[in-house]
Chains A and B, each alone.
Chain A
Amino acid sequence: MRTKRLSQTAVSYAFLAPSLVILAAFAFYPIGKGLFLSLHTQPLFGEPTWVGFANFRELVSRDEIFHLAVWNSIRYLLVVPVIAALALGLALLVEPALPAMGLFRALLYIPVVTTMVVVGLTFQFIYREDDGLLNSLLQGAGVIDEPIHWLTSLKLALYSVMAVTTWKGVGYYMVIFLAGLRAIPPQQSEAARIDGANAWQVIWHIKLPALRPTLQLVCIISAVAALQVFEEIYIMTRGRPLHSSSTVVHLIWETALDRNEGRGDMGYASAMGVLLFGLLVAFTASALWVTRRAEERA
């Protein structure tokens, strides 16, 4: 009996073994190694040297570029309410069973499946100063006289990139809201209609309250994604001008591997990774805490 149970356990672990080996090698080990390296300094081709918490002290107290990158990552969270509002509005627009709604749902989802590299390049063409589509359209309509420096102005670059993130992501969150809307029993809206409520009142008093869990989910997913944004920055601005559009992940990449800057340091970059993880955990924990408080009050 005992050997039988043992052999059953062996069979179970035989099924799990390939996955566990891969996770151990390519996730758990590098995560541990990252913690280890964050306490060291290590050039790209070199041996690690122990520096204790010096990387963290430098990052927290002195490194102004890192501070700017953290601030930019936090400013990036502005996409969250914009995405949530737009996605919800679109979901309400495409929800009813009317002709061509399937087509609209598909069209709005297409940016989600396309490659961010290509999306970034396309918007680079659109944002171009002298001959870009956007400035030409705005100038043609008489909205602006001078071309706007969408991607090269210190103030504007980050917001221009955020607009692209929003544009590409909104269809995904729309589908999540659609799922939430479908879960609302139609009788509730029917009953409100019979009591004389108009379309807006049904949305405001029936649908929005029922969508609260969906809204929380959308906010948390899009915020965690916003804190990790990289590809848009890499393709469109490379963090320029003057790191004004650099985010934490972009700075990690630059610090670890950009040989041109000559200050590549794997240890320092790993310390940034550890701090980013701390930021993510702190953010998610506080988001869940706020959510729970709101639920208790409701």
Chain B
Amino acid sequence: MSDRHTPLSLVLRYAALIAVSAVMIGPFLWLLSLSVRGGGNIYEMRLIPSVMTLDTYREVWTDYQLAGNFLNSVLVAVLSVVLTVLLAGTAAYPLARHTFRGRQLVFLAILSTMMVPFQVYMVPLVLLCKDIGLSDAAVNLPGPLDGLEGIARRLRAAVAVVLPFSVSAFGVFLLRQHFLGVPRDLEEAARIDGAGEFTIWRVVMMPLAKPAVATLAIFTFVFSWSNFLWPLLILSREETYTLPVRIAQLSGALIRSTNTLAAASVIAIVPVIVFFLIFQRWFIQGATLGAVKG
């Protein structure tokens, strides 16, 4: 312990932290409070409303079919995590372990995509996705969105959201760093046992890089759950919208029903907050990785 804490400094420290936490968490509590207000008391200035109702949640979940958008968000997030980890893992392995012509060039090319922000080329990307039929235009045709066929359509839209950004330069960098640290002996032992390159990747490399894989998966999940601009550009049917896009659209439609809109907003953030609270130690570690290793 390098710091001595006098009683006064402790009181001041905790007072400041409680005040700041109130500012950071207060808006969410206010949102929660708005979402359960019934009838005519939407605008009263009380954190605990005098008339409470959960009808707002039922209304957005079933009448406005937010359940479907929730499903889309889950599909997008899961697909995004799986693809990002698989692609970063397969690309990072030869970059860390093989010597071949063009290795430096390929690694630089992958990293260079971090320098160009997506907004710079979003316009041509939209045009491209429309041209090759990746945008949800196909899903746009009227058709059922429930049952197996519905899942297939939603998945098809999720691919359009996920695929163009499924190669994470940060992920390739992170996994390459971890693969570099895996002892050569393990790889050689597997090779002597007759394992092929793919088996070595699957059985030796990926399991040994588990902390990095977990960090990448967790950050990808959170990013994907909140991602807004690309889904907004590529999706054009409210049934295939992810939660953020649907809520942005509802904010126009529900301009007079603040409580219902607030309920939709709560539904959109509760999963990601719970996810964060479960995995919080990884967020601290992940930020450290990004910060220290650039």
Contact = CB atoms under 8 A, between A and B. Distances in A.
Do A and B come together as binding partners?
yes
Interface of A: 8-9, 11-13, 15-16, 18-20, 22-23, 25-31, 33-34, 37, 90, 93-94, 96-98, 100, 104-111, 113-119, 121-126, 131, 133, 136-137, 140, 167, 171-172, 175-176, 178-180, 183, 186, 189-190, 193, 199, 202, 214, 217, 224, 228, 230-231, 234-235, 249, 252-253, 256-257, 266, 269-270, 273-274, 276-277, 280-281
A153 B21 CA distance: 29
Contacts of A16: 90-91, 94-95, 106
B247 A30 contact: no
B226 A115 contact: yes
A287 B31 CA distance: 39
B65 interface: no
| Pairs A-B, 5 closest by C-beta atoms | A33-B124, A12-B94, A26-B164, A189-B2, A19-B91
26 contacts: A9-B100, A19-B91, A19-B110, A22-B163, A22-B164, A22-B167, A23-B110, A27-B121, A30-B125, A31-B116, A33-B124, A33-B127, A98-B10, A110-B24, A113-B222, A118-B31, A125-B30, A126-B27, A140-B45, A171-B24, A175-B283, A178-B284, A189-B3, A202-B2, A235-B248, A235-B251
A111 B30 contact: no
Interface residues of B, number: 91
Interface in B172-192: 172
A190 B13 CA distance: 21
B21 A19 contact: no
Contacts of A189: 2-3
Contacts of B244: 115-118
Contact of A113 (B30, B43, B273): B273
B262 interface: yes
A110 B25 contact: yes
Contacts of B57: none
Contacts of B20: 90, 93, 108
Contact of A179 (B16, B172, B276, B292): B292
A21 to B, nearest CB: 9
Contacts of A270: 123-124
A269 B123 contact: yes
B25 to A, nearest CB: 6
B220 interface: no
Contact of A176 (B103, B262, B287): B287
B62 interface: no
Contacts of B98: 8, 11-12
A199 B276 contact: no
A122 B31 CA distance: 6
A273 B251 contact: no
A85 to B, nearest CB: 13
B272 A252 contact: no
A247 B273 CA distance: 29
Mostly, the A contact residues are helix
B261 interface: yes
B148 interface: no
Interface string B258-294: 1001100100110011011100100110011011101
Contacts of B91: 15-16, 18-20
A8 B233 contact: no
Contact of A104 (B17, B101, B106, B110): B17
A23 B225 contact: no
A254 to B, nearest CB: 12
B93 interface: yes
A48 B126 CA distance: 15
Contacts of B45: 133, 136-137, 140
B128 interface: yes
